[in-house]
Amino acid sequence: MGLGARYGVNPIVFGSIYVGAIPFFTLSIAWLARNLRRRRSIVAPLLSASFFFVSAYLYLIVVGRDIPVWVYLFIGGMVVFGAFSTLKKIRGQLQEGEDSEA
């Protein structure tokens, strides 16, 4: 809590955004996989999933004051790791869809 006051970030709000975005992120990934299987546009579900993935970090970036550079580097690393993890998850869902069709 002390760090939150120091940097202008409310840890309760950050945590609420972080946890609250999880179901929306999951739904966005399902929407993305469905659109890929149906060969429809993936722009909207991709933007949705991306937004929900970084929403808590966006809060930190927008309201935070004097955040150390290492925090931004850490956020960047989390985004890169999350992108690879999400890509793996989407490929798994697509594979499941193909296996059930066969």
Evaluate whether 86 touches 66 at the Cβ level (below 8 Å).
no
Structure tokens at 33: 């996989």
Burial 30-48 (b: 16+ CB within 10 A, else e): ebbbebbeeeeebeebbeb
Q: Three-state SS string across 37-50, please?
A: HCCCCCHHHHHHHH
Tokens 């950050």 belong to 14
Number of domains in the chain: 1
How much is the pLDDT for 102? 58
Q: Which residue has the higher pLDDT, 11 or 96?
A: 11
Evaluate whether 31 touches 45 at the Cβ level (below 8 Å).
yes
| pTM for the whole structure | 0.78
Its domain, for residue 70, covers 2-101
Judged against a pLDDT cut of 80, whether residue 93 lies above it is answered with no
Give pLDDT tens digits for 8-50.
Answer: 999 999 999 999 999 999 999 999 989 988 999 999 999 999 9
